[in-house]
Amino acid sequence: MYAQRRVAIDADDDAGTLQDKLAELGAQALVQILPRIASGAARPMPQPADGATYARKIEKNETLLDWKRPAAELERAVRASGQRPARRRVSAARR
């Protein structure tokens, strides 16, 4: 790891807005660090293991909305799923 940046995740961010923030921040970091890497001035540092987690792939069935869940959970699920959330209704008969 040659550089580290922090980004605030706002309450109204979704997968798309967060992707845009990270892309911009990553581009800025590359512009700053690449010349230092090329000149030998930058030294890599290990990524801290503390706080690092593995995020498994989200399966399609996990994007279905269960309308029995609290509204706050549904809102977060829609924001987290990005541009194409599965907004289909899951009825008791289909479970």
CB 41 within 8 A of CB 2: no
| Dist. CA 37–CA 84, nearest whole Å | 38
**Which residue ranges make up each domain of the chain?**
1-49, 58-95
| Report field, pTM of the whole predicted structure over 0.95 | no
pLDDT by residue, tens only, the chain of 95 residues: 999 999 999 988 988 899 999 999 999 999 999 999 999 999 999 988 888 888 888 888 877 888 899 999 988 888 887 655 555 555 555 55
Q: Map tokens 């194409």 to a residue.
A: 84
| Dist. CA 79–CA 18, nearest whole Å | 10
